[in-house]
Amino acid sequence: MKNLLKIWTVSWIHFENPKKQELIEISEKYDLHEIIIDDILDYWVQDKIDTYDNHIFMVFHFPKYDEKNKRYISNEFSIILGKNFIITITTEKTNHISKIREEYIEETQDLEYPEKYKISPYYILYKIIDIMYDKSIKLLSKNSKDIIWLEEKIFSNNWLNKKLLEDIMIKRRNIVFLKYIFLPQNELITEIQKTIEKFFDWQLDLYFEDLLYKLDKIENQISSLTKDLSSLNETYNSLMNVKLNSMLWVLTLLTIIIWSMTLIAWIYWMNVSLPFENSKYAFFIIMWLMIAISLMLYLLFKKKWWFE
C-alpha cells in the first residue's frame, strides 16, 4: 500500500481526500465501524471522539490559508487509532503530515531500542497535534505583525481608502474563524487523554498536558487579536468621522463663500442705483470685495469664532 508507513510494530496509513472505495478497503482490512466511513465522507463533521471495541475515531479541524481568497479554510483531520495502527485522513493537502512522518522515522528507527511509548499510535497522535499547534501559533504571530502593519497604515494615510478597510475586515473575519476552529479542542484533548488510557498502558499525560498548554496559548493569542482588531476598527471609524467632518467643513465653507459672491453679483444685477456702478473700476472693486469677504469667511471658520 503506497500510503502505508511501517514503523516497528506500528502501521501508519495516510490519505488526502480519499475516494470511497479506498475507505471501504481500509475499513474491511482493519474492521472499522461503518459509521466512521459515513462521517469521513460527510462534507462537515464537528470535532468529536467516538470509542469502539478495538479502535478510537476522532475528528479535528485545523486552519489552512487560502492565498487566492485571503482567508482560512478548515482542513478536517479524521484520525483512527488502534492497538498497533493509526489512520490519518485530511480533506486538504498538507505538507505537515509528510514532515511528521519523516521526523518520526528519524526519531525511532535510528535507535536500536527506542522507548516503548514512542512506538505507539498514541505518541504519533501527539506528534500530529503538536506540530499543527506549533504551526497555528506561528500563523497567529504573523497575524499580530499584520495588525501592527495595518495600524501604521491607518495613521500614515492622509485619506483612508476602501482597500485598507477591506484588509481590516478580512483580518477580522479570519480571526473569528480561527476562534471557532479551536474553541472545542480543549474539551476534545481532555476527553482523548481519558479515553486512550483504556487502550494503552503507557502514560503520556505530560505530553498531552503540553498540548493543553499550547492550546491555551493559542486561545489567548486569538483573544488578544480579537481585542486588537476591535480597537483597530474603532480607530478606523473614528478617523473616518474626523475625515468626514473635515470634508463637511470644506464643503460648508465653499458653499458660504460661493453664496456670498452670488449675493454680491445678484445685487449688482438689480435695476437700481448702486455704489460704484458708474466707476470705470467697478468690476475690480466688486472682485476685490468678493475676495475680501471670502478671505474673511475662511479666517472666521478656521478660527471657529462662532463658538467663542
Is the domain of 225 the same as that of 269? no
Q: Where are the beta strands (DSSP E) in the chain?
A: 4-7, 10-16, 48-51, 55-66, 71-82, 85-90
Is the domain of 87 the same as that of 41? yes
**Any idea what DSSP says for residue 95?**
S
Give the number of domains in the chain. 2
Report yes or no on 279 lying in a domain. yes
Task: Please state, in angstroms and rounded to a whole number, the distance separating the CA atoms of residues 22 and 19.
Answer: 5
Is the domain of 291 the same as that of 218? no
Is the domain of 229 the same as that of 267? no
pLDDT at 230: 86
Report yes or no on 81 lying in a domain. yes
208: containing domain: 4-139+160-241
DSSP alpha helices (H): ranges in 183-204?
A: 185-196
pLDDT at 268: 65
* SS3 call for 93: coil
Is the domain of 206 the same as that of 254? no
Is the domain of 93 the same as that of 175? yes
Is the domain of 117 the same as that of 228? yes
pLDDT at 115: 64
Report yes or no on 150 lying in a domain. no
Full DSSP string of 136-149: HHHHHHHHHHHHHH
pLDDT in tens, the chain (308 residues): 557 777 777 888 888 888 888 888 888 888 888 888 888 888 778 889 988 888 899 999 999 888 888 889 889 999 999 888 899 999 888 877 877 777 777 666 655 555 666 777 888 888 889 989 999 999 999 888 888 888 888 777 655 677 888 888 888 899 999 999 999 998 898 888 888 777 666 666 778 888 999 999 999 999 999 888 888 888 777 777 777 777 777 777 777 777 777 776 666 666 656 666 666 676 777 777 777 777 777 776 666 544 44
Is the domain of 254 the same as that of 215? no
Report yes or no on 151 lying in a domain. no
Is the domain of 232 the same as that of 178? yes
pLDDT at 290: 73
